[in-house]
Chains A and B, each alone.
Chain A
Amino acid sequence: MGKATGFIEYTREKVGERDPLTRQNDWREYTVPFSDEKLRIQGARCMDCSIPFCHTGMEIQGATSGCPIHNLIPEWNDLVYRGRWKEALDRLLKTNNFPEFTGRVCPAPCEGSCTLAISDPAVAIKNIEQAIIDKGFENGWITPRIPRLRTEKKVAIIGSGPAGLAAADQLNQAGHSVTVFERADRPGGLLMYGIPNMKLEKEVVERRVRLLAQEGIDFVTNTEVGKDITAEELQAQFDAVILCTGAQKQRDLVIEGREAKGIHFAMDYLTLATKSLLDSNFEDGQFIDVEDKDVIVIGGGDTGADCVATALRQKAKSVVQFGKHPQLPGHRTADNLWPAYPNVFTMDYAYKEAEAKFGQDPREYSIQTKKIVADENGNLKELHTIQMEKLQDEEGRYYFKEIPGTEKVWPAQFVFIAIGFEGTEQPLLSQFGVKAINQKVAAKYGEFKTNVEGVFAAGDARRGQSLIVWAINEGREVASEVDKYLMV
């Protein structure tokens, strides 16, 4: 609490963003950091609640409320207000291994549960978080912390997404020798290829990976466990194995015409775009190019939005995003009271960009694709849709009902499917003999033990598709369990 009355005196400033139209011409981050003075004032708005709901990280009605890694938000808000950046960094790093990621791409459930948000706009927590860590790097405060003693214990971590990296960091700091296996050419998992560069510049990810490597973590890329190295070998070489393989099995659209050319999974689209950008600044042509095409993204989530933004940067002719759900209300409703995650209408970066470009929000709500029609060459031609109504049955369960007469046809050359993920990929699990339930690794939260001795699981692989903060949380927690396991 920099200032007891700060929340009364100051209002929330909108996040600084580059101009939505011009930023479409490049792939750099779309945000513009606040000035120090502005951050100080935004920090002053924090009320230093005795119960910081922002720091809670609980699930309410299936959604996350507050920070799952329990960031000590009021503590660093206060320090930022007082200009004590170095200490703010200490308090931030106490709970968060990678604030440079979460400060950029977390959907910030902390802000939804901010006490100030009961009646006013929340404290700009996410921006402050990013500013603290960026300043840390800028000022050279972030230096490799190389453990003084080593325990002689070896841990293999499969997957280098946020869960794997967090687990690796924690275990390395506890003195264990950690090797991270990644099947892609660059470590980072979804951080590297799942999230487009304009949201999270890849240098930021690489900087962290370099740091972790300097601290002693061994990264083995282009190596798929199960193919390039067997589970057995791994178990023989390491004292413990942690599966952080994510939940990348994408949910597919089961629909007439799905086989048409020009229909891709969103992840493939995004991954190739980023890889080509990094490898050759799109010189190599190894990406899906939608220039001058009509693009439809199916799925109303964040991944869909990233596809919209990517398509815009590739100069698509048009971009539309289909969502099954109706447009969210402008304010919280009676069944979505604070501190639950606010289900309210917001304008994500991609939508602002689309609006700037085409003069309208790219989102279509309550829409269901009935069939896809290809042209004679098997190339995608158009989508047939119908509008739906969201209704509640007697027991309060929601269901959708088509509205006759709302049929519509959408011409398109590209469709990206972004309707979520089904779970983790199975082959690796079977090689380890690890059990899964509902396509998630069976391991209890808090214990993280699979049915196989010495094999642990964490992150999306265990939890199912979720937030980066949950991945970091699981990475930290599994590390603590593995540490206990190793040190017995």
Chain B
Amino acid sequence: MTFHQFPKTQGLYRPEFEHDACGIGLYAHIKGNATHDIVAKGLKMLCQLDHRGGQGSDPLTGDGAGLMVQIPDQFFRQECSEINLPEKGNYGVGMLFFSKDDTEREEIESYINKMVVQEGKTVLGWRTVPVNAEPIGLTAQESCPVIRQLFIGDKEKSTDSLAFERKLYIIRKQAEKWAKKSEYRFYFASLSSRTIVYKGLLTPEQVDQFYLDLQDENFVSAFALVHSRFSTNTFPSWERAHPNRYLIHNGEINTLQGNIHWMKARESQFVSEAFGSDLEKILPILDTDGSDSSILDNALEFLVLAGRKPAHAAMMLVPEPWSENPHITEEKRAFYEYHSTLMEPWDGPSAISFTDGKQIGAILDRNGLRPARYYVTEDDYIIFSSEVGVIDVEPEKVLYKERLRPGKMLLIDLEEGRIISDEEIKSQLASQQHYQQWLNEQLVRLEDTDEAEGEIPDDLQVLQKAFGYTYEDIQKYILPAVTEGKDPLGAMGNDMPLAVLSDRPQSLFNYFKQLFAQVTNPPIDSIREAIVTSTISYLGAEGNLLHPSAENCRRIQLETPILTNGQLEDLKKNESFKSKVIDILFAENLESGLNEICIQANNAIASGASLIILSDRKINEKEAAIPSLLAASTLHQYLIREGLRTKASIIVETGEVREVHHFAVLLGYGVDAINPYLVFATYQQAIKEGTLPYTYQDAVKKYLYAMTEGVVKVMSKMGISTVQSYRGAQIFEAVGIGSDVIDTYFTGTVSQLGGIGLETIATEAKLRHQAAYQEFTDKTLESGSNFQWRHDGEHHAFNPGTIHTLQWACRNGDYELFKKYSSQANDERLGFLRNLFSFNGTRTAVPIEEVESVDSIVTRFKTGAMSFGSISKEAHETLAIAMNRLGGKSNSGEGGEDSSRYGIDENGDNRGSAIKQVASGRFGVKSHYLVNAKELQIKMAQGAKPGEGGQLMGTKVYPWVADVRGATPGVSLISPPPHHDIYSIEDLAQLIHDLKNANRDARISVKLVSKGGVGTIAAGVAKAVADVIVISGYDGGTGASPKTSIQHAGLPWELGLAEAHQTLMLNGLRDRVVLETDGKLMTGKDVVMAALLGAEEFGFATAPLVVLGCVMMRVCHLDTCPVGIATQNPELRRKFTGEADYIVNFMRFIAQEVREIMAELGFRSVEEMVGRTDVLTVSERAKAHWKAQHLDLKSLLYKPEGIRTFKQPQNHRIDESLDIREILPAVQPALELGTPVDVSFPITNINRVAGTIVGSEISKRYGEEGLPEDSITLRFAGSAGQSLGAFLPKGMTLELTGDANDYVGKGLSGGKIIVKADEHTKIASGENVIAGNVAFIGATSGEAYINGRAGERFAVRNSGVNVVVEGIGDHGCEYMTGGTVVILGDVGKNFAAGMSGGIAYVLTEDKEAFKHLCNQELIEFESVSTAADQAELKQLIECHYRYTQSVKASCVLKDWKKCVRKFVKVIPKDYKRMITLIEEQKLVGLSEEEAVMSAFIANSSAKSKPTKQQETANR
């Protein structure tokens, strides 16, 4: 029934990976006056959002646009005179897309007609919608459907309009079901008596050109809900355009898979008063063929039609954070808590606008990750959109300017003709029932009792062995989890074989790789933004979602899904929740063991059990444990299929589980709670032996805490905030598991290459079991070798043999020895997927002299992004020198770069990195840094820890590191998990655009990490006009990251690269981008394999480090690198022995090997070789491997036809920019001669990144110094587009009168930005939202004055800008490390989270209330008492007044003495300590430099205060 033309699954491409993003808007008359102007303006609005949509290979074919309006009754009466339309409201209109096959269409229409009659309604008639396909793109024309409208009459004059809507819904659902069965293609864009949707595969401008109806003056509506789509592909789809039937959505539902499963599971339990016996007809509720937005639409629609108010339904689907959020009323908390027992949130970044035709609402996700701004005018219009400036409105007509706030609802009641406040609607809904009382009476909270010590089993070590424990597991994971209080850290990347390639039996958990967010949605920071997270979950049978009652919340609430032994015992004994323990053991036949579990559970549920406990406690010599994951997921899937899943919870009592990853996978596959009893016994033993200096109770507590936090972190990598939503969401991908196992036991999981079956899983389980129980085996634990190489352990690509051979070869320039190294690396074992292939010998060799030269090949080589800070100056510069000598590229990493490296040294060497990275922390990202790059790389993710940020501990922030990063020595630096200016694909497009403006000569590269679906993301990134796309393998290195991430997140590059290459080709986008790959490339053969799979450029990181002396100590995070590479310690740096020539040798050796293989394969150039998978075949050793032989590798070798390499540069549309067209010519005198220039321009939201190109010209000519203040003054009037004044250097001043969108002053580099309200405005500046979200992100220096409020995440990662603003949203000053922020007004919640430097002055009437809004982990409060502070503050406010004539500033200044007392000074504790220390040292008589170093040393040796995280762990 789909009405889109996505290609079928082919190669590694899968249509379900597709993502959407978009611009949204609403234009409405609040009092409900319907006019044609509203329709027209709505569409105009869309055109202004064009840059938020994507451009495919066919510029005239958009990704989709459309609008939803009220049914234009007048218009239909005029157009359909032959149809006898009843009174308005008593007929429904369907908007349908049909294929061009008339017979098929007629058959469908007649079936629908039949359904209408069957449901007791009347078919009034059909109308063909007149369209003009001429202006639309060729692709769109080809796929254009026949569009028809159906008019359905309500026989009796209905008073219950909802009942009529419900009938229409039933008609639609039945028709859809029938069509699906009959394989007919048609689609209902809408069917309602209230609203109608006009949409299609159109660009915004094309909507009313295509739909002639929309041009008619009689086509009127009181609102227009509009949407412009940006999809990650170029495949035509008419139905995926928005609006959906009830909502428009900008964002992504991360937990979709789980939400779908749970909805399905609940369906059979539904009892609906509204639907009664009709309920059967509408199942399944969710049409899973649709996009995430349309599935969410299905859910909302169902809840609304079942009788919930739209606002109520929206609050159930996307609740505000309530459990960790102190800023919420008791009443509302009870409402949310009650509903949480019924349903998990649909989690993900979203701006949603929904309507039932009577009320229009809008909400954001719990974290406010999408922008939404609105104006309300005097004449009762509301303009709501992703951006301001989309409809021209005279400033004096604007009543107020607002933004939608996270967790808040905007609700317009067209019948009442007013905006209902968030407070009013929610308190009304919250008081509908006695939720609090119900909770008090029914909800059971599981006691957090102190854990009693049990008996340590006599055979503890046998049990440990039986469950695969190693010495490393205990020493390096289980014990440190308690002593460090967190998921333990590791360093460098993973270089072990995938589980399916390993020679050893592997835990089933290791076959599952964590998914993570990149580009299309953001990961979140579960530590700094804990306020939105929740670990609460429930046990016991679920109630009825559709019927509010006290009994519904008769459930057990858990604070964390990890249970102590005591808690589990309590549950087993609980009388009101009956439990059943089922053993998960098997002797011979695993499959029958699994079936037995299901049968037992079924019987138990039938006899009233609501807690199913799967237990392997009875493991014995004869019976092995069934992998707990397999047992639990089997049962979960079985119960869903049987419609029983919500009747009972699944609890796993297992000895197998011990790491964060294990917990995460179990939860992800539907487990409700887990008891890791063997870990507890291990602690008990360790404490008894004296190895763990804690009480047992403390150890258990700390472990629970560390694991729970670890799981939250894994969730947050995918952008998921609540355990409840994560549970069953299956945010994993399997590698090496066969489709039979997946389909039956892990339904819905992606497993790209197939793999082992149940038999091999059983074999692996048995091998482990035998190792423990056989009589004569060594009873001590195996060493373990995940992170530590052991002779008899797991294979590691970097091992003593490869490391020393490589080092010797490159040091002595010995190519023969290098060949020995590479044959070791290539042949030793099946380490990587690429080792599964060999050349098939189908091509004729060519003489090596004819093959591209070494000199030419090495220009395609790059070294990896390693920051100065993570590695030493010596190592960092050696890499740069070597790559510059070769004509390749080194990568700065995310730590900035000292500008002294931008020139050429006396000996001709160049120490500058050709690639400058822009990562989430934006350290040192200044205009001057950007103009000195050949390539600018946006790091979306890092192989070793995709979806995570990082923290550089204060003790590692040496003065020289701090200097380059624009930070304070000794103060920790935090890289946020997401780029706070990239929450979706259109945001990425914006950053690409920003950077291209900042350096027009640089290629813009986007670094992604391999995962299933990375291909569609790459296609989206190509549409967002990146020049280079990097696909990194999961095995890339790191300076520090949780072991969980190093091993278990992401996929090998082979998969991601092949998928990206194939998908780009299918989309016709391959020729626009250069594809690069990295991740443990070690040899020439590796490079050839990468080229054959689609890569044109190649990155190396671990191998060059080894060449420089790295011996894989994996202690980068400890600053103890004994070879002077990953350390800043001067004493250790002296041990560095690397030289640039060694790297030159390495790269040239690799290139020479590449040439030799190319000659053998008959390729004369690398270009020719890219994507030629036809020369590959599955190798003999792959076929011989006991596990790998099960893999199906065809899809990796799939070879679409078409252009295989980069051919045609992207069009960045720089020439169309305001800077190039108008500003640059006007400021020439200042640039050329230094003569000050002051010019004015009008501006609208499509003029983005204003001033940045001019700024880049200054940086190019005048370096970091810039020009004297105010050399160039640009005055704008209107609504500025995004990224106003990004990276503006010193000497530039931007003054905007009007308002600005998101990212004002991004990366400000010394310039000045003034945003002030129009003099005609009637709004007080404190209420006037004048700047969008994420203003001044990553700003490094300069000043700014904002005469009004700004949105969320103001001054995130500010490291040096002084800015005055009159109010801000949530998460203000997050991760700030320097500069001064003055706020003359309100702040939102979670202020100063992760703020480690700089100062904020906040004017507040109620200091306690303000403090309550702060995240107090790192900061402290002071009054503004010192003369110096007062002077600084006053001076800034004076400037603010001078530049903006702010009324507020004027008031404060007038009454300074009194007002200064109302300021709170917010200062980070560590920052204050360091500043004080430095001052003290200076007083002793030290120079600035000496004082800093001395303070740094003093600080590092002093014991730093534990963070909140540790404190909590210590509790």
Write the residues of chain A forming the contact surface with B, with a CB cutoff of 8 angstroms: 4-5, 7-8, 47-53, 55-58, 60, 65-66, 70, 72, 74-75, 78, 82, 84, 87, 90-91, 94, 113, 115-116, 118-119, 147-149, 173-175, 334, 337-340
B811 touches A337 (CB 8 A): yes
A141 CB to nearest chain B CB (Å): 14
Interface 0/1 of B665-703, CB less than 8 Å to A: 000000000000000000000000101000000000000
Interface 0/1 of B798-825, CB less than 8 Å to A: 1111011001100110000000000000
* A47 CA to B1122 CA, complexed, in Å: 9
A8 CB to nearest chain B CB (Å): 7
B1114 at the A/B interface (Cβ < 8 Å)? yes
Residues of A within 8 A of B1109 (CB): 118
Residues of A within 8 A of B775 (CB): 148-149, 175
B776 touches A50 (CB 8 A): no
B804 touches A70 (CB 8 A): no
Write the residues of chain B forming the contact surface with A, with a CB cutoff of 8 angstroms: 471, 475, 492, 689, 691, 775-776, 778, 780, 783, 787-792, 796, 798-801, 803-804, 807-808, 811-812, 1109, 1111-1115, 1118, 1120, 1122-1123, 1129, 1131-1132, 1135, 1137
Q: Name B804's contact: one of A55, A174, A175, A339 (CB within 8 Å).
A: A339
* A74 CA to B787 CA, complexed, in Å: 13
7 inter-chain pairs at a CB distance below 8 angstroms, sorted by A residue, are A4-B1120, A47-B1120, A78-B475, A94-B778, A175-B776, A334-B812, A340-B804
Q: DSSP class of B's interface residues: helix, strand, loop or mixed?
A: loop
When A and B form their complex, which 10 residue pairs have the shortest distance between CB atoms, in order from nearest?
A50-B1114, A70-B791, A56-B800, A51-B789, A119-B1135, A174-B776, A4-B1118, A51-B1112, A50-B788, A4-B1120
Known interface pairs A119-B1122, A119-B1135. Does A52 touch B788 (Cβ–Cβ under 8 Å)?
yes
Among B778, B803, B1111, B1113: residue with most chain A CB under 10 A = B1111
Q: Name A51's contact: one of B475, B689, B798 (CB within 8 Å).
A: B798
A173 touches B788 (CB 8 A): no
B787 touches A337 (CB 8 A): no
Residues of A within 8 A of B1137 (CB): 118
Q: Name B803's contact: one of A7, A51, A149 (CB within 8 Å).
A: A51
A44 CB to nearest chain B CB (Å): 12
Residues of B within 8 A of A48 (CB): 788
Given A51-B799, A57-B791, 11 more pairs with CB closer than 8 A: A5-B1120, A7-B1120, A47-B1115, A47-B1120, A51-B1112, A70-B790, A115-B1111, A119-B1122, A174-B776, A337-B808, A339-B804
Q: Name B807's contact: one of A49, A149, A337 (CB within 8 Å).
A: A337
B814 CB to nearest chain A CB (Å): 11
Residues of B within 8 A of A173 (CB): 776
Known interface pairs A51-B796, A55-B790, A339-B804. Does A8 touch B1120 (Cβ–Cβ under 8 Å)?
yes
* A358 CA to B800 CA, complexed, in Å: 43
A238 CB to nearest chain B CB (Å): 19
Residues of A within 8 A of B475 (CB): 75, 78
B1391 CB to nearest chain A CB (Å): 36
Residues of B within 8 A of A66 (CB): 800
A75 touches B1122 (CB 8 A): no
B798 touches A118 (CB 8 A): no
* A48 CA to B1123 CA, complexed, in Å: 14
| Closest chain B residue to A151, Cβ basis | B776
* A256 CA to B421 CA, complexed, in Å: 114
Residues of A within 8 A of B783 (CB): 72, 75
B811 touches A84 (CB 8 A): no
A7 touches B791 (CB 8 A): no
B1111 touches A51 (CB 8 A): yes
* A55 CA to B780 CA, complexed, in Å: 18
B1198 CB to nearest chain A CB (Å): 37
Q: Name A52's contact: one of B776, B787, B789, B1118 (CB within 8 Å).
A: B789
B791 touches A55 (CB 8 A): yes
Q: DSSP class of A's interface residues: helix, strand, loop or mixed?
A: loop
A50 touches B492 (CB 8 A): yes
B791 touches A56 (CB 8 A): yes
Known interface pairs A70-B790, A337-B811, A339-B800. Does A49 touch B776 (Cβ–Cβ under 8 Å)?
no
B780 touches A8 (CB 8 A): no
| Closest chain A residue to B808, Cβ basis | A337
* A49 CA to B1115 CA, complexed, in Å: 8
Residues of A within 8 A of B1118 (CB): 4-5
Residues of A within 8 A of B804 (CB): 53, 60, 337-340
A115 touches B812 (CB 8 A): no
Residues of A within 8 A of B691 (CB): 82, 84, 87
| Closest chain B residue to A173, Cβ basis | B776
Residues of A within 8 A of B1122 (CB): 7, 47, 115-116, 118-119
Known interface pairs A52-B788, A90-B780, A91-B780. Does A75 touch B800 (Cβ–Cβ under 8 Å)?
no
* A82 CA to B475 CA, complexed, in Å: 13
B800 touches A50 (CB 8 A): no
* A339 CA to B1132 CA, complexed, in Å: 19
Known interface pairs A7-B1122, A118-B1135, A175-B775. Does A94 touch B791 (Cβ–Cβ under 8 Å)?
no
* A75 CA to B1109 CA, complexed, in Å: 24
Residues of A within 8 A of B1120 (CB): 4-5, 7-8, 47
A391 CB to nearest chain B CB (Å): 21
Known interface pairs A58-B801, A90-B780, A119-B1122. Does A49 touch B1111 (Cβ–Cβ under 8 Å)?
yes
* A5 CA to B1131 CA, complexed, in Å: 12
Known interface pairs A75-B783, A337-B811. Does A47 touch B792 (Cβ–Cβ under 8 Å)?
no
Residues of A within 8 A of B808 (CB): 337
Residues of A within 8 A of B492 (CB): 50
* A94 CA to B791 CA, complexed, in Å: 13
B1118 CB to nearest chain A CB (Å): 5
| Closest chain B residue to A82, Cβ basis | B691
B789 touches A50 (CB 8 A): yes
* A116 CA to B1113 CA, complexed, in Å: 11
* A91 CA to B492 CA, complexed, in Å: 26
A175 CB to nearest chain B CB (Å): 6
| Closest chain B residue to A49, Cβ basis | B1113
Residues of B within 8 A of A52 (CB): 788-789
| Closest chain A residue to B812, Cβ basis | A334
B1131 touches A8 (CB 8 A): yes
Among B775, B796, B812, B1137: residue with most chain A CB under 10 A = B775
* A255 CA to B513 CA, complexed, in Å: 71
Residues of A within 8 A of B1129 (CB): 8
A53 touches B1111 (CB 8 A): yes
| Closest chain A residue to B786, Cβ basis | A50
Residues of B within 8 A of A338 (CB): 804
* A49 CA to B787 CA, complexed, in Å: 10
| Closest chain A residue to B788, Cβ basis | A50
Residues of A within 8 A of B812 (CB): 334
B1169 CB to nearest chain A CB (Å): 34
| Closest chain A residue to B802, Cβ basis | A51
Residues of A within 8 A of B788 (CB): 48-52, 74
A446 CB to nearest chain B CB (Å): 13
Residues of A within 8 A of B811 (CB): 337
* A175 CA to B774 CA, complexed, in Å: 12
* A438 CA to B492 CA, complexed, in Å: 46
* A56 CA to B691 CA, complexed, in Å: 28
| Closest chain B residue to A72, Cβ basis | B783
* A471 CA to B786 CA, complexed, in Å: 29
* A65 CA to B805 CA, complexed, in Å: 13
B1047 CB to nearest chain A CB (Å): 14
| Closest chain A residue to B792, Cβ basis | A70
* A231 CA to B1072 CA, complexed, in Å: 78
Among B787, B803, B1120, B1123: residue with most chain A CB under 10 A = B1120
* A461 CA to B65 CA, complexed, in Å: 83
* A147 CA to B1132 CA, complexed, in Å: 50
* A268 CA to B775 CA, complexed, in Å: 45
A484 CB to nearest chain B CB (Å): 12
B791 touches A47 (CB 8 A): no
Residues of B within 8 A of A84 (CB): 691
A138 CB to nearest chain B CB (Å): 20
* A339 CA to B1109 CA, complexed, in Å: 12
